[in-house]
A and B are shown apart, each in its own frame.
Chain A
């Protein structure tokens, strides 16, 4: 089996960090905070985080914080929970969470019925439940929310196939709800018989994992579905070797980076999920502690969490 081209991926990430004016950077300007999290976490798990300047990055991150306490996707962009989590995760990577003074409140985004909005405008989605719970857990601010109601809202999003929708009745996506329940110590609410089978059915003939029945496999599901299987301690129910091969086939062996599937263009999002997925599989296939392990619920290196 071929190797993960770790050095190439490090060079790829460092190169895109420097490019702020090309087309790709400009169209993704609004979610640079997410991009930074994906890139920096990849560097950390490949043990290359020392190649970046932490002060510069932390300074930029803090410039994205608003009075409300939330973070925007870049300087001058409005706050949203999507970027707030990435900001907190980046600060955690550099062990700088102490610089945070979140006056208000992710907890303020929780509604009466337990669900979370993404920002002050009120859109509801179980992704936001996961993000809020993950964030508050990293900040040790559990006391700020109604955990029982948060769990109950996720449970009402459970579907006929054992999966969870983004809203009640929405088609099943899994990671955010399983991750949120895992962090809250509430995995007893999953319908094990249905969900276990649903998750391992995500592996298709090519070895890759898809996110929904009859959809194409993608490297990012090497994270979303794989982590879900790890959280429920069922990763041995898929063919791990075939999944590793699927990920490795999506590498750009010349220039670094990983794509969603074979022959697609690489990007930092899929590079992150491909690398983390591969390393998770190494850990479970080979019982190899070698490189850093990733926490499947927090999506951060275990030593950071």
Chain B
């Protein structure tokens, strides 16, 4: 069974074995048999002599040769790694090579993951590699826009929402979560109104207020989007659960909310003097029967002021 020989990780401690040009040209094109490839460290001796002969150059520095080997490796890897992104050792080897090449590899690596994501927009390993590239090598400038493009293609792509949060919270160019909150809330509210049954933007919205629940409760845009969705009387499970959470954290619903909830009540609803939160739980028991036990539990745990 052919086993692919690849570049080593810097942590390898055993002595290097000569890596010939013929090995380079054939081994990388073989399919890996698993996360078992034994890496080799290129020696300067054998390939240097061959290259010297080919180019008629007497001297090649070790650094130039290593960079050349790594460049060849990085360019041959896509053929392998696009098809085998699931193989741990391929990804890790690619990172090792990219690290050696530094910032020069940034656009290439981002382009590489973009190609994979164009075929499979939720490929976990491609997203994982892309996040590594951004943090290790940079290239944040266009990432928010890239997330926007992917979400235009598929607003339900949870991976793209996750990446958006990653960029907003970690990019050194954007100022952090609080600085981005207003614009991101606007963006997310639009997405919710277009598809209120989409789980991801509802969670994203809460994430924008991570660690600051009071601001979530006090932001009129949050309660307002709940009310807008409730008024449509369809696809309102997430709007109801968000309203429930707001009430549990101290939100005081206006008469408009009470009217909207009344319009959704079922014939066998709770008594009219029951609190709004209880009514919301009852509606959820009815419209989300798969999770009826969860909503019953939420009803039993309502804080005193909400009940």
Chain A residues engaging chain B, CB cutoff 8 angstroms: 29-31, 72-73, 76-78, 80, 82, 118-123, 125, 159-161, 166-167, 169-173, 194, 196-198, 200-201, 203, 205, 212-215, 234, 236-239, 242
For A28, give the chain B residue with the smallest CB separation.
Answer: B34
Q: What residues of B have a CB within 8 angstroms of the CB of A197 in the complex?
A: 241, 294
Whether the pair B36, A171 counts as a contact (CB closer than 8 A) is no
Which residue, A29, A78, A118, A236, has most C-beta atoms of chain B within 10 A?
Answer: A78
Q: Give the Cβ gap from A85 to chain B, nearest Cβ, in Å.
A: 14
What are 7 pairs between A and B in contact, CB < 8 Å?
A: A30-B36, A118-B35, A121-B92, A201-B291, A213-B156, A237-B297, A242-B290
Q: What residues of A have a CB within 8 angstroms of the CB of B251 in the complex?
A: none
- Which of B21-29, B57-65, B157-165 contacts its partner? B157-165
Closest 7 A/B residue pairs (Cβ):
A30-B34, A160-B207, A121-B9, A78-B36, A77-B36, A171-B162, A123-B92
Whether the pair A120, B11 counts as a contact (CB closer than 8 A) is yes
Whether the pair A212, B158 counts as a contact (CB closer than 8 A) is yes
Interface string of B150-181 (1 = CB under 8 A from A): 00000011110010011001100000000000
Whether the pair B162, A172 counts as a contact (CB closer than 8 A) is yes
**Residue B210 interfacial (CB < 8 Å):** yes
Task: Select which of A72, A121, A159 is within 8 A of B89 by beta carbon.
Answer: A121
A-B pairs with beta carbons under 8 A, tally: 120
Whether the pair A214, B89 counts as a contact (CB closer than 8 A) is no
Q: Give the Cβ gap from B185 to chain A, nearest Cβ, in Å.
A: 14
**Residue B41 interfacial (CB < 8 Å):** no
Whether the pair A214, B290 counts as a contact (CB closer than 8 A) is no
Interface string of B110-144 (1 = CB under 8 A from A): 00000000000010100110011000000000000
Q: A171 to B204, alpha carbons, bound, how many Å?
A: 12
Whether the pair A212, B122 counts as a contact (CB closer than 8 A) is yes
Task: Select which of A31, A78, A80, A194 is within 8 A of B38 by beta carbon.
Answer: A78
Q: A73 to B122, alpha carbons, bound, how many Å?
A: 27
Whether the pair A170, B158 counts as a contact (CB closer than 8 A) is no
Q: A160 to B205, alpha carbons, bound, how many Å?
A: 10
Chain B residues engaging chain A, CB cutoff 8 angstroms: 1, 8-9, 11-12, 33-39, 88-89, 91-92, 96, 122, 124, 127-128, 131-132, 156-159, 162, 165-166, 169-170, 198-200, 203-204, 206-207, 210, 241, 289-291, 293-294, 297
Q: What residues of B have a CB within 8 angstroms of the CB of A169 in the complex?
A: 131, 162, 166, 169-170
Given A203-B290, A213-B158, A239-B290, CB of A122 within 8 Å of CB of B34: no
Q: A87 to B69, alpha carbons, bound, how many Å?
A: 37
Q: What residues of B have a CB within 8 angstroms of the CB of A166 in the complex?
A: 124, 128
Whether the pair B34, A31 counts as a contact (CB closer than 8 A) is yes
Q: Give the Cβ gap from A45 to chain B, nearest Cβ, in Å.
A: 27
Q: Give the Cβ gap from B11 to chain A, nearest Cβ, in Å.
A: 5
Whether the pair B35, A167 counts as a contact (CB closer than 8 A) is no
Task: Select which of A73, A125, A159, A239 is within 8 A of B34 by beta carbon.
Answer: A73
Q: A126 to B266, alpha carbons, bound, how many Å?
A: 45
Q: Give the Cβ gap from B10 to chain A, nearest Cβ, in Å.
A: 8
Q: What residues of A have a CB within 8 angstroms of the CB of B33 in the complex?
A: 29-30, 77
Task: Select which of A125, A160, A196 is within 8 A of B210 by beta carbon.
Answer: A160
Given A169-B166, A171-B127, A203-B291, CB of A214 within 8 Å of CB of B36: no
Beyond A78-B35, A214-B200, 20 additional pairs, beta carbon < 8 A: A77-B36, A82-B35, A82-B88, A118-B88, A120-B12, A121-B8, A123-B89, A169-B131, A169-B170, A170-B124, A170-B162, A171-B127, A171-B158, A173-B124, A197-B241, A214-B157, A237-B291, A237-B293, A237-B294, A239-B291
Task: Select which of B12, B127, B166, B170 is within 8 A of A121 by beta carbon.
Answer: B12
Whether the pair A236, B293 counts as a contact (CB closer than 8 A) is yes
Q: A170 to B38, alpha carbons, bound, how many Å?
A: 28
Q: A198 to B241, alpha carbons, bound, how many Å?
A: 12
Q: What residues of B have a CB within 8 angstroms of the CB of A31 in the complex?
A: 34
